[in-house]
Structure 1
């Protein structure tokens, strides 16, 4: 099956899940509730979208500069603009197919900055691992500081279902799973040794070596504090976006930073589940705000406002980056070619 067709099928499946979630949330809304949602959108203070957009751009910029820090130990220093453009095009690709953007941004930077793609993949994996650690830490902080509000919800919706899955898996199933994983790893190792001099084996080894170098680059950074600070700035921008968003609707203006943290953490899970979080993000935000006494209609409307702002920003910056990449790099090459002449 062609790769492009696989991507189309993936997009249709994930997009279908998002549409299904939206339908499940809205199918039982009464005419009065629909009217409430319409009024909420009409009464929203959309001027606050401006600072939210500025914070969104800042978060993407910090992500680009943080990514550059991981490349420096590998001996590569791409321009900040190329890195930023690559990040934005990657986000745009993620709207179509989840995780496609990670490959896309590595490919773009490899093309324009002549950096080995395998090393870029390693730095991207390291970066995503750090983001996952940040999300887990924020989730722990959110739950521990708001046990009265979120404790029962997390226990019911996350811990109990996970516990049931492990409980239902008997010893034989777990043993077969471990044996299958061990057999798969053993087969790969045997094939690499058996065909060690083949072109495919050499390519796989070089890719694995490059990925490992990229992952280990996080431990070789000279300025680790800059990496930590920029990670905090990225998540700080995300949190500030949600907090400012509370002031868009009159019904959510009383919510504080604790509620914003809960929306950020639980909403982030929704952004992972479906392309761009469509359906899942709005649903999880609605469920989260209900825990703080917000009407489900208002919560759903709030989720849509935040999601639309974030998504439109990615779409606009993504397409602008696609157009700007060849123009910027053509001018950069011309300047580099003229530089020796100018010096003489």
Structure 2
């Protein structure tokens, strides 16, 4: 099957999931509630979205700088602007096809900064691992700080459901799964030894070596403190976006940092579930805000306003980055050949 067709099928499937979630979430809304939601939309102060977008740009810029810290131990120092453009192009592609954005941004840096793509994939994996740890830490902190408000919700909606799945899992199926996984790993190892000098085996080994080297780059950094600082800045920006966003609506303006932490924590799960959080982010935000006494229609409107602002920012910056990469690097080529 052609690669383009595969990507198209992926886009249709994931976009379809998002649309399905939107339909499931909105099908029970009555005409009276729609009227109240429209009123909430009209009453929002959209000017306050401007500072949230500026903070959003800062978070992406900090991410670009942090990514450079992972490349430095490998002997590469790409320009910050190219790295920023690559990050934004990756986010834009992710809106269409999940996880393809990570590959795309590695490809952008490989093309314009001549950094081996296999090593970049390793740094990207390391970066995502750090973000996952940050999210887990944030979840634990948020629940501990607001145990009375969030404890029951997290237990019922996350922990208990995971526990039920594990409890109902068939032991035989688990054993078979583990055996199959071990067999696959053993088969791959045997094939690599059997055809060690073949072109495919050499390519796979080089790719694995490059990825491992990229992942280990986090331990070779000389400026680990700054890497941590930029990681904190990235998540502080995410939190600030939600907190300032509360002031867009009078009904949410009284909410504090604690509620913003909860929205960020649970909303981040929505961003992971579907491309760009379409169909998942708004309802999760709405349900979270209900825990703080925010009416359904207000939570619905707020979730969609914040999601739309973030998505619009990614689309605009992504398109600008596409153009910026071509223009900026074309000029650089002319300077070097002049």
For residues 180-226 of structure 1, give each alpha carbon's deviation from its aligned partner in whole angstroms, at most 9, with x where no partner exists. 11001000000000100000000000000000000000000010011
Q: Map Cα deviations across residues 137-195 of structure 1 (whole Å, 9 max, x no partner).
A: 00000111111111111111111111111111232122111111100100000000010
Task: Report the TM-score when normalising by structure 2.
Answer: 0.99
For structure 1, the 5+ residue unaligned runs are 339-344
Aligned to 1:131: 131
Alignment-derived partner of residue 94 in structure 1: 94
Q: Which whole-Å CA distance do the structure 1 matches of 2:203 and 2:17 have between them?
A: 37
SS of 1:250's equivalent in the other structure is coil
Instruction: Give 1:10 deviation, angstroms.
Output: 1.3
Give the structure 2 partner of residue 259 of structure 1: 259
Structure 1: 4+ residue segments shifted above 2 A: 333-338
Equivalent residue for 2:219? 219
2:251 match: secondary structure? helix
**SS of alignment partner, residue 252 of structure 1:** coil
User: What residue in structure 2 maps to residue 148 of structure 1?
Assistant: 148
What is the CA–CA distance in structure 2 between the aligned matches of 1:161 and 1:28, rounded to whole Å?
24
1:23 equivalent to 2:17? Answer no
Q: Distance in 2 between matches of 1:158 and 1:247?
A: 29
Q: 1:335: how far off?
A: 2.5
SS at match of 1:251: coil
Alignment: residue pair count:
338
Residues 210-289 of structure 1 mapped to structure 2, 5 A cutoff: 210-289=210-289
Provide the TM-score with structure 1 as the length reference: 0.97
Mapped partners of 1:200, 1:43: distance in 2: 60
Quick one: distance in 2 between partners of 1:94 and 1:305? 20
Q: Deviations over 1:218-258 (max 9, x none)?
A: 00001001100000000000000000000001110111100
The alignment status of 1:167 with 2:167, answered yes or no, reads yes
Deviations 1:30-56 (A, max 9, x none): 122111110111110111011011000
Q: What do you get for the CA RMSD once the two structures are aligned?
A: 0.8
The CA distance in 1 between the partners of 2:67 and 2:336, in whole Å, is: 24
Contact 1:11 1:275 in 2 (8 A): no
1:290-337 per-position Cα deviation (integer Å, ceiling 9, x unaligned): 111111111111011101111010000100110111110111222334
For residues 319 and 333 of structure 1, what CA distance do their matches in structure 2 show? 22
| Equivalent in the alignment of 1:206 | 206
C-alpha separation in 2, matches of 1:87 and 1:133 = 20
Q: Which residue of 1 aligns with 2:158?
A: 158
In 1, Cα distance between the equivalents of 2:306 and 2:171? 45
Task: List alignment gaps of at least 5 residues for structure 2.
Answer: none
Report if the CA contact (8 A) 1:239-1:261 is conserved.
yes
1:181 aligns to what SS in structure 2? helix
Q: Distance in 2 between matches of 1:316 and 1:226?
A: 29
